[in-house]
Structure 1
Amino acid sequence: MFDMSHLTTLSEALEQSVINNDIEEIQRLCQVNDDFIRTIEPLVNDKQGNESIKHFISVHQSATRLIRDVHVEMQKQLYQTNKTRKNVNKYKGVKNAE
């Protein structure tokens, strides 16, 4: 059984980090609480508890989506940087031309 108050606290912190687009805090929260997150299971005869779990899952999915989107954007920027460097290297001889 997991601690429902910890789940609520984690949900709030994660939700605020998503709102703030705080990638480092999202990663820290998920890393520090990984073992706890993996113990979350649906509760029998506890409708309110299951609603809290559903809310956490929704927030966690939003955080995961944000991390994935940032990763994709960073990959695009890295690709553009590498492409630009290769194009600049092609024209090295131009600066030495007379």
Structure 2
Amino acid sequence: MTGPAPAQVLEAAHLRPFATTERHRVEEGLLLRADLHRLFDSALLTISPELVVHVAPTLRGYGAYSALDGRSVYVPRDHALDLNVVEEHYATTTATW
């Protein structure tokens, strides 16, 4: 969603909280920049099943984050992203807004 970044700032984000599932599944993960990972885990940023970024209304005053709203997410063709889990995260997150 933000383009290339140094490996040192990238983190694996779980679509389902690891504390709940206690498992790592590639299909349920995204590689996000550290600040975006924190927002993702805090239910302030999510991705729709159409792979579009959605930012919580409370972040719209922050230009760097509001600029992400509506941006498409790049997922490599060989990544088996589970869109059902993406939809689950999206629904749960946006319900809190």
- Give TM-score scaled by structure 1 length: 0.32
- Give TM-score scaled by structure 2 length: 0.33
Larger Rg: 1
Identify, as 1 or 2, the structure richer in helix.
1
Identify, as 1 or 2, the structure richer in strand.
2
